[in-house]
Amino acid sequence: MRCTIASLSYFLTLLTLVAAHGWVANVTIDGKTYQGNPPGDSSIQSPIRTISTSSPIVNTTDPSLACGQLAQPAALVVPAKSGSEVAFVWTSSSGHWFHVVGPITIYMALCDNGDCTTFDATKGRWFKTDQAGLTNTSDLNAIPTWAQASLDDGSPYTTHIPEGLKAGQYLIRMEIIALQGAGHIGGAEFYPSCTQLNISGDGDGVPNATVSFPGAYSPNDPGIHVDVYEPGFTYTAFPGPPIAAIVPEVDRQPGFNSDFFLFVSHPDIEQRRDRPVHMWRHIRSRGPGSPDYQHVVGNILESYWL
């Protein structure tokens, strides 16, 4: 029976590939709503980056995995603050969002050039702030229900900006992952969308770990290559990193070697979770003028990477 159900599901997946898919219709931040544009249309002044097509991304190395299919920077950067409520409504050319199987993830990235209207999302240092999967995990005999299923009646998905986050311009990335065809490698469908925010507040918090898009996912990840129709199926292995902790920013000491700081902060290295943060805290206790500075740096590099 499982094979029959899975085969039917895969057939239905193929049908949906030729149908219209979805995009973010609007985003509401602390009660103020901003409209988005349909794919290929930038006529509305919006903070939501416009995608070229609503077709899914299926390759985890595709640069469009950052913000959606050939997403273009939006015209607006709109106000928010740490702790703000952000609600996303999805739509499609045939009505509301219609996939019902798979998780939702939320990421953010600082536009470290200071301007999200020109920022390249593939260079973002992304940190996860929220995720939602199955909503009825307590009843193993019930038909699995996913958080994204609530979007198909026009309901929003609501999340919050992390408390204490350092002020600045950020992208917030909502992603729907459709898993109805994920029993085979390459069958998962990714639908990311990015909105440009200018976050205010007096917090000094930064994420303890970041990843890159593309780079955060692999087609073999257990949360991506998975048979959701397996009897007794549960979903615990969300793709990507865990939800980031927001920790106090560590100030640079005067005279510290900024080139070395940039090296230990590189996104590829930061995928090693919180190790660069701990490394920096060790190194900062000794400035470049200290007699044992190079010895300390060498020991830390050997300890964490060799």
pLDDT digits (tens, 9 = 90+) for 135-166: 876 666 667 789 999 898 899 999 999 999 99
Decide: helix, strand or coil at residue 273: coil
Is pTM beyond 0.85? Reply is no
pLDDT digits (tens, 9 = 90+) for 205-237: 999 999 999 999 999 999 999 999 888 888 999
pLDDT digits (tens, 9 = 90+) for 232-283: 888 999 999 999 999 998 743 343 333 333 334 444 444 444 444 444 444 4
- Report the alpha-carbon distance of residue 95 to residue 276 in Å, rounded: 45
| Per-residue burial over 192-224, b = 16 or more CB atoms within 10 Å of its CB, e = otherwise | bbbbbbbbebebebbbbbbbbbbbbbebebebb
